[in-house]
Amino acid sequence: MAIEDIKDQVVSSKLAWFILLLIIIIFHTYVTLNWGDFTTPSSFGEKIDPQLRGCMIIPAFAGGEDCIISIAKQENNPRICGELTKTGLMGKDSILSCQARVTGDKSICSRIFKKSFKDRCYMYVEREKK
Of 93, 102, 103, 97, nearest to 122 by C-alpha is 97
Domains of the chain, by residue range, sit at 2-33, 37-129
Buried b (16+ CB within 10 A) or exposed e, 76-109: eebebbbbbeebebbeebbbbbbbbbbbeeeebb
Confidence at 1, pLDDT banded by 50, 70, 90: low
- Please state the separation of Cα 126 from the chain's center in Å: 26
- Write down the pTM of the prediction: 0.53
Average pLDDT of every residue of the chain: 76
The average pLDDT across 7-25 equals 85
